[in-house]
Structure 1
Amino acid sequence: MRWRTTAWAAGALGLVLAGTVGLAPRALAADNPFERGPAPSNASVEARRGPFATSQTTVSRLAVSGFGGGTIYYPTSTSEGTFGAVAVAPGFTATQSSMAWLGPRLASQGFVIFTIDTITTSDQPSSRARQLLAALDYLTQSSSVRSRIDASRLGVMGHSMGGGGTLEAAIDRPALQAAIPLTPWNLVKSFSRMQVPTLIIGAESDSIASVRTHSEPFYESLPSGLDKAYLELNNASHFAPNSDNTTIAKFSISWLKRFVDNDTRYEQFLCPRPSVSTAISEYRDSCPHS
């Protein structure tokens, strides 16, 4: 069951805080055992690297089934416990290298990130959905880092057709904790059965998966009671997710922290809704989050 914040819990936490002013911040870690890392700031979520040192390991396509192998990025220390994990799929004709920048950037914030190759670069969204889920199963059941992962805290991300696959994977596996489609493309337009908190990131100047025919209809089709958000990158192209992008990183980190780690310290970056800026042309959100 997804961790929920209630008014009662918030009030109780306030009483606890009032009586424990002198305690170190980590003394309250038991209030949410999934918190990882220090309290965030705008600078920390925009930084190229977070507080965790990371390493990586390559997974050969010959060693797996159901997807095309990939690269796992993970925190080197488990002193704070296990981590949530996210599988990331590339877009049409692309390989994992197009999403590689996300690996160390997200892993250094306290996640295990698996950027995958698809079986063929022309695989359609439904196939990419199945491959994302196969990658998560490999990651949690067979990979060399499986002991570092909390298998109940998983998410999916993907670009273009990988983003379309992200939406389908979340529909197919509602136990996932978060989904982040990046400039997603899919011929399926309705995702009204979605139960997974979903952040859709579109690009204002996308001429391949225009926000008018893809990202916006996807967002509008999501259930009204779902934790959901839509971020439109200002004057950006379809390929914005293929290079280091601070806005994508900031909001992806915040969404994953909020819903994979149940870490309400990151709510501040999502709600109230960020204003239109040189980086963001539009932002919608179901604030406040449950």
Structure 2
Amino acid sequence: MRPSLVFVALVTAIAAATLSGGAGAAQAVADPLLSQGKPVTASSVENAGTPASAAVDGNAATRWSSAFGDPQWLRVDLGGTAAISQVVLSWEAAYGRAFQIQTSADGLTWTAVDATATGTGGTQTLAVTGNGRYVRMYGTARGTAYGYSLWEFQVYGTMGGTTPPPGGTIPAPTIQSLEAATGPLVTAAYTVPNPSGYRAGTITYPTAAGAYPGIVLMPGYQGTQQNLSWLGPRLASWGFVVLNVDTNTLSDSPDQRGTQIRAAGTQLVNLGNATGNPISGKVNGVLGAAGHSMGGGGTMVALRDDTRFRAGVPLAPYHPSGSFAGVAKPTFFLTCASDVAAPGSTYARPWYNSMTQAEKLYIEVPGDHLCPMTGYGNKAKQGKWIVSFFSRWLRDDARFTPFLCGSQRDADRNNTSLVTQWTDTCPF
């Protein structure tokens, strides 16, 4: 137990233990409690004494607590589709200031049914309307310097609810669908009205209901949003909210671009948590980044320095003094065989080799330094690999794994006119 919180936690536990049914039992609810004793998982745990299971065990004196970082989540599997009517969060002293309650039919695509950026802790009883087999608390900003900690996470409702409409789900991918210019979801674009920390940005997002991972795209030296304009709509049509940015100046360094990626990620999450804009409720707090050249170096900086970024795709990346051995996030390096500005052998390959704790993919393709940019290279293949990588690591969608590991991969990997080098940490 954290020393500074012992007294608060003890008082809370004693008070909660006097309730006949555990935390939240005094709330008058018409629907039954569905979550108690059900399988539960979490993004992390603080230590062995605060497991995820403690949040659904019906014991108001045991708790789950996370690592000290954002974002974090706790997910319960109800065992079947349910109509959710109420969620009760009994916070320990380490509470969530900004979080969403999300539901999912498959544990992959999430829909926000409640959100706040002004949580105050204590016991919060939320009236919600939603359907799904899985329910989770997704925290994006902690209320203290510690993690997120719940004595109990209680979900009420009735089993047998309807599943979300097909437009909010992502169908199983095929080679043909992944190599097409757009994916299965209809998208729209939104110009960021007041960019914060970067010069300008365009968000491309799925119009279907649901909450999706966010991805920041960063151009290279002297580059603009046009550099990666091919990639934003493609990713969005596969279930991502994508912010393609312009840098503060065209000559910003890789470190400055990394700072701007982080600022763009913050604004993307904030817009998702706010109301009155087209992406309200559409960002689930999971973040990734992709960038070209110095933007690729900036992507590595964001992965190294910001726990919110869960995966990255550096494209022909450049950073003259970057050290990234400590990066443990899944990383896909796409490099160009004839690149003299940022040769893979000088930058991406040594970084790949030094990252001993990460799941990794390294693909070198024909072309010069511009090969990942709009109008250059084989976009059918590049798009398939990038969509699959982000789908695997930002949504934990294993249906995309065969296109990077296994038989579906081999036709690409063994085609020397398409791929000049391919190295990975498969299976993943």
| TM bucket, shorter chain | 0.7 to 0.9
1:190 to 298, 303, 323: 323
Distance in 2, Cα, partners of 1:120 & 1:76: 32
Match of 2:187 in 1: 54
How far residue 189 of structure 1 moved from its aligned partner, in angstroms, is 4.5
How far residue 123 of structure 1 moved from its aligned partner, in angstroms, is 0.2
- Determine if contact 1:164/1:185 at 8 Å carries over to the other structure: yes
CA separation of 1:220 and 1:54: change in aligned 2, threshold 3 A? same
Match of 1:242 in 2: 373
Does residue 1:32 correspond to 2:107, yes or no?
Answer: yes
Distance in 1, Cα, partners of 2:106 & 2:188: 29
How many aligned positions are there? 258
1:156 to 289, 292, 304: 289
Does residue 1:208 correspond to 2:341, yes or no?
Answer: yes
Identity %, equivalent residues? 36
Match of 1:280 in 2: 419
How far residue 54 of structure 1 moved from its aligned partner, in angstroms, is 0.5
Distance in 1, Cα, partners of 2:313 & 2:43: 17
> Which amino acid is 2:414 matched to?
V
Match of 1:102 in 2: 231
Does residue 1:266 correspond to 2:395, yes or no?
Answer: no
How far residue 287 of structure 1 moved from its aligned partner, in angstroms, is 0.8
Distance in 1, Cα, partners of 2:308 & 2:330: 10
Match of 1:138 in 2: 267
Distance in 2, Cα, partners of 1:222 & 1:202: 17
The structure that has the greater radius of gyration is 2
How far residue 239 of structure 1 moved from its aligned partner, in angstroms, is 0.4
TM superposition score normalised by structure 2? 0.58
Distance in 2, Cα, partners of 1:237 & 1:2: 39
Match of 1:165 in 2: 298
Match of 2:253 in 1: 124
Match of 1:222 in 2: 355
Q: Which residues of structure 1 form unaligned runs of 5+? A: 4-15, 17-28
Match of 1:115 in 2: 244
How far residue 42 of structure 1 moved from its aligned partner, in angstroms, is 0.9
The residue matched to 1:141 in structure 2 has which SS?
helix
How far residue 195 of structure 1 moved from its aligned partner, in angstroms, is 1.9
- Determine if contact 1:89/1:116 at 8 Å carries over to the other structure: yes
Deviations 1:6-60 (A, max 9, x none): xxxxxxxxxx9xxxxxxxxxxxx74533384101111111111100001001125
> Which amino acid is 1:87 matched to?
V
How far residue 247 of structure 1 moved from its aligned partner, in angstroms, is 2.0
Deviations 1:152-180 (A, max 9, x none): x2101100000000001100013322100
Runs of 4+ in 1 over 6 A off after TM superposition: none
TM superposition score normalised by structure 1? 0.84
Q: Larger helix proportion, structure 1 or 2? A: 1
The residue matched to 1:33 in structure 2 has which SS?
coil
Distance in 2, Cα, partners of 1:188 & 1:197: 21
- Determine if contact 2:340/2:368 at 8 Å carries over to the other structure: yes
Distance in 2, Cα, partners of 1:121 & 1:141: 26
How far residue 271 of structure 1 moved from its aligned partner, in angstroms, is 0.8
> Which amino acid is 2:401 matched to?
E
Match of 1:65 in 2: 196
2:391 to 247, 257, 269: 257
> Which amino acid is 1:33 matched to?
L
2:364 to 232, 238, 259: 232
Distance in 1, Cα, partners of 2:228 & 2:403: 23
The residue matched to 1:280 in structure 2 has which SS?
coil
Higher relative contact order (CA 8 A, sep 6+): 1
- Determine if contact 1:54/1:76 at 8 Å carries over to the other structure: yes
Distance in 1, Cα, partners of 2:232 & 2:345: 29
Greater Cα offset, 134-143 or 115-124: 134-143
- Determine if contact 1:232/1:281 at 8 Å carries over to the other structure: yes
Distance in 1, Cα, partners of 2:180 & 2:291: 21
Distance in 2, Cα, partners of 1:162 & 1:276: 29
